Amino acid sequence: NAGVTQTPKFQVLKTGQSMTLQCAQDMNHNSMYWYRQDPGMGLRLIYYSASEGTTDKGEVPNGYNVSRLNKREFSLRLESAAPSQTSVYFCATGPRDRGIYEQFFGPGTRLTVL
């Protein structure tokens, strides 16, 4: 089992270019998340999907769109990249239950916008 996979691992964009970050999970979890990690800022939630067919905004959604393609896949799109979107992006999954709520993270995509 691969767990949570993300593609690409690295990407360099020019300001104004668009791209889609891909995330796939084989853990059969209902919920999926996109976070960005910046030095000294910790993890900030961009968007999440509680279940297939639903998406909701997190703390920092501006400049991003998401698609929950099916239960396995959750993509993050930057329509017009800006230097402020230079960051490391993590996809995570988790079962949508109360109680102990462990999240499983992918290895990350390191994005630089010039």
Partner 1 sequence: GEDVEQSLFLSVREGDSSVINCTYTDSSSTYLYWYKQEPGAGLQLLTYIFSNMDMKQDQRLTVLLNKKDKHLSLRIADTQTGDSAIYFCAESPASGGSYIPTFGRGTSLIVHP
Can you give the binding site for partner 1, defined by CB under 8 A? 4, 33, 40-43, 45, 48, 58, 90, 92, 96-103, 105-108
37's enclosing H/E stretch is strand 31-38
Identity of the residue, 14 or 98, whose beta carbon is nearer to partner 1 in the bound complex: 98
- Do 32 and 47 touch, CB atoms closer than 8 A? no
Q: How far is the CB of 62 from partner 1 (least distance, A)?
A: 19
Q: Quick one: tokens of 107? A: 């290895």
- Nearer to partner 1 among residue 14 and residue 102 (C-beta): 102
SS3 99: coil
Comparing CB distances to partner 1, the nearer of 14 and 39 is 39
Q: Tokens 């896949």 identify what position?
A: 73
